[in-house]
Amino acid sequence: MLTSAARLVPGGRAVGVDLWRSVDQSGNDPAGSRANAGAEGVAVDLLTGDLRALPVRTGAVDVVVSSLAIHNIPDERGRLSAVGEAYRVLRPGGRLVVADFRHARRYAEELTRLGCTDVRVRGLGWRFWYGGPWASTAAVTATRP
């Protein structure tokens, strides 16, 4: 997701934040992600950090993208903290898209509560099944006013 986003902003800066937990993704490490980005011809900045406390300045980001990560936080309070952090780092008018196969509607409710506009949830189709149709992924999109 980060590499694809970076390709869309050749003059911009693409920053990825992760805890690099191998329990969530085998072979997970920043060197691999950096090499993948390099193979695609883009540079990315990779930070080690928790989605619940992003190491990013408030209002500094044009677009937040998150793919199949927030569901790994075990408790709802933590997941909503992550959504709140994504909102915090967005600049006014910034856009957000979060792909999740479990809690997309709950994130949409939270983004609405936080004051986002254009909050939408849409299915991403069979290409984004997390193993099968019982775990189909939806994307939440929203704008920070």
Q: Which residues of the shown chain bind ligand SAM in the complex (CB under 6 A)?
A: 1, 18-21, 24-25, 28, 50-52, 67-69, 72-73
Nearer to ligand SAM by Cβ, of 43 and 115: the residue is 43
DSSP, res 136: B
Q: Do residues 51 and 73 touch, judged by C-beta distance below 8 A? A: yes
Nearer to ligand SAM, 11 or 27 (CB): 27
Closest to ligand SAM by CB, 98 or 142: 98
- Closest approach of Cβ 42 to ligand SAM, in Å? 15
Least Cβ distance, residue 113 to ligand SAM (angstroms): 21
CB of 22 to ligand SAM, least distance (A): 8
8-state DSSP, 51: G
Among 110, 109, 114, 24, which Cα is nearest to 73's?
24
Three-class secondary structure of residue 105 per DSSP: helix
What gap in Å lies between CA 96 and CA 51, rounded to an integer? 14
Q: Give min distance, CB of 69 to ligand SAM, in A.
A: 4
CA dist., res. 121 & res. 51, Å (int): 21
Closer Cβ to ligand SAM, 11 or 71, answer by number: 71
